[in-house]
Amino acid sequence: MDPSSSTSTTTSTSANTGAGTDKLLVEQHVAYIQKLGENKDDLTYHLTAHLRLNAVYWGFTALSILGRPDALDREEMIGFVMNCWDEEAGAFGAHPGHDAHLLSTLSAIQILVMQDAMERVDVERVVNCDRFGEQDTRFLYCAVNALSLLGRLDALDEGVLGEGVLGEEGVVDEEGVVDGEEEEKGKGRGEGREKGREKGKGKEKVVEYLQRCRNYDGGFGRKVGAESHSAQGEI
């Protein structure tokens, strides 16, 4: 390709998009976010259904930072969030009909807090929704963040995280495997969870587990023994 033609194309594109301006093009960003949910005939729209509720939170947060939280209809947004409720689990899925997950549950709570609509949530069911336990620090963060927004950090000391991070009797070996994990694998959903509950020490165990995820390089892994990653440091 002729270098001059490349420069010409770049210049033309920059002129059309407003690149190089020192002004934030707020209305263009707002319009872009508003259109994201309209392309329902686009294959990408359907391939990203597992991130839909998270994307609503991201878009709403961006609009709030831009000073335009009203750019998306409040009731429509709240209605979508509540349609993601998984009645069996007592938490939220990423899309209506999807199974509940800690990540989408956190996004749902964040949206409802920002929209001042927490009265629509069954707080106690959400607090006790975790049936499997987590060893991944990303989802431990989701759980702690959600409990904080719900005003129920005290639930950590009540043992709501069960096994997973805290492990059976709160013990996790050097490989991040919960003692007695093999014996627990054959049990049904939620069975054996009570063994991981030691009331009054939940917060201490969470901190202890995070400390054990720290590596020789000063970073943190997603579980004990996993390589360091910047995202885990933020968590």
CA torsion sign, 32 to 35 to 40 to 41? negative
Domain ranges of the chain: 25-129, 130-181+189-235
pLDDT tens track for 130-152 = 766 677 889 889 999 999 999 99
Contact by Cβ (8 Å): 56, 77: yes
Residue that the structure tokens 């963040």 belong to: 145
Q: Is the pTM of this model over 0.85?
A: no
Collapsing DSSP to helix, strand or coil, 45 comes out as helix
CA 18 to chain centre: 33
Residue that the structure tokens 């995202």 belong to: 231
Of 58, 149, 140, residue with least CA distance to 109:
149
- pLDDT recorded at residue 100: 94
Is the pLDDT assigned to residue 24 strictly greater than 70? yes
Average pLDDT, the chain: 80
pLDDT tens track for 172-209 = 444 444 444 444 444 444 444 444 445 567 888 888 98
- Which class for 123: exposed (0-12), middle (13-18), buried (19 or more C-beta within 10 A)? middle
Q: What span, in angstroms and rounded, lies between the C-alpha atoms of 158 and 72? A: 38
Element (H, E) at 92: strand 91-92
pLDDT tens track for 63-115 = 999 999 999 999 999 999 999 999 999 999 999 999 999 999 999 999 999 99
